[in-house]
Structures are given as C-alpha cells and as structure tokens.
Amino acid sequence: MLLTRKLNLVAFAVVVTMSWLGASTARAEYSTALCSVNEPELNCPVQNRVSQVHFVDPEATFLGAFNIACEALFSGEIEGSTLAALSNPLAIGGQFTYSNCSFNCKITDLTGGDLLILKTKPNLGSVAADDFEIRVVCPGLIQCTYITNGLVGHALSAELPAHAGLVTLDKQVIHHLPAGIMDVCFVSAELDVLFESLNPLYLKS
C-alpha cells in the first residue's frame, strides 16, 4: 500500500528535508553527478557517469476528489555531455509514461520536461520538476490538463539501505491549465510518486 511503502522512508525524509533547507549552501559546496558505480570517494570518474535514467513506481498516485493510482515510468537523458563540467543542478530531460490506471483513467505526459537534481549532502539531494503538462481523462469523472511547475522533492542515493536510488515527489500540488469547453477539473490536485531506479544510481560529485 502507498502509506506502508512510505513509512520506511520517514527517517531519510527528515534528513533530506533538512538538507533541502540548506540547498543554497550546498550549491557552492557540491557539484552533482549520477554514478553507476559506488565509488569509495565522493567524486565520480567520467567513465562511470550515467547519461540515461529509468525510474519506476508501481503505484504513482494522482490525488484529488478521488485518488487515481497508476504504474509510472520516467525515462530521461542527462542534458549536456557527461564529459563536460558537472552541472549544479543536474538537468534530466525526459517524459513520464502512465499505464494500468484505476477507474479506467488515462494519464498522458503531453510535453515532457526536466527533473533538476541538486546534491545537498553526501548520498542526499533535492529534486525539482518543471514544465511537465499532464492530461488526465477518466470517463465521466475528469478531463483536464495540469502543469508541474514548482514541484520539489528528494533524491536518495543507492548507498542508503535497500534502495537502488530514489526520487520522491510527496503530495506535490499541480495546477490545472485553463480549461477547454468540455474540460472538467478538480479545484486542486496533487502528485504523489516514489520512483526507484531500474539500475543502481549513486549521487556523487
């Protein structure tokens, strides 16, 4: 269940939230890279820097007047060359894919967008999601387009126990775009996802 799977992250979330509050300091202290190997040092050699990512969540949830659960996949590429100077934050351009949604709903990522990951402490980081336009259609219930600007969450490195590398967006408010003539929208809605990488990802510099 969604609640149960989040209980194991409570301790990490408290620490990461504290690191998010100190992000401006971290911006000067760390660069950000995703590494395919758990290097003993904080830095990731060029040959081990990841250029593509694939995150999955079997129970991503769209929260509104009723809750829509879907299987979700995010596929993206690191923007800019991994051989170049490391980014701060690291931009991952990509797209969400939703399937097997409850209530026979269909959720579509219309535009794609960027996940921005900023390393704030060893093994921990912050995440922002920008420019994703999500179309939600549920027969007889809702037909609306939402935008994700301003979403913030957390990144957890695979060094942390029992994780392959996580990106969480916990109950983040999404805003509907001006409705079409036939659109029916929730007054407010939230996106709640807990993405785990298909391959271990280590948050390095």
Read off the pLDDT of residues 97-155 as tens digits, 9 standing for 90 and up: 999 999 999 999 999 999 999 998 888 899 998 889 999 999 988 999 999 888 899 99
Q: How many domains does the chain have?
A: 1
97, amino acid identity: T
Instruction: List the structure tokens of 63.
Output: 């929260």
Chain segment 140-193, per-residue pLDDT in tens: 889 999 998 888 999 999 887 766 778 999 999 998 888 777 888 887 799 999
182 DSSP β-pair partners: none
pLDDT tens digits for 43-85? 888 889 999 999 999 999 999 888 999 999 999 999 875 444 4
Written as one string, the DSSP assignment of 26-85 is HHHH--BEEESS--SSSS--GGGB-SEEEEEEEEEEEESSSEEEEEEEEEEEESS-TTSS
Domain that holds residue 31: 2-204
- pLDDT of 8 higher than 60: no
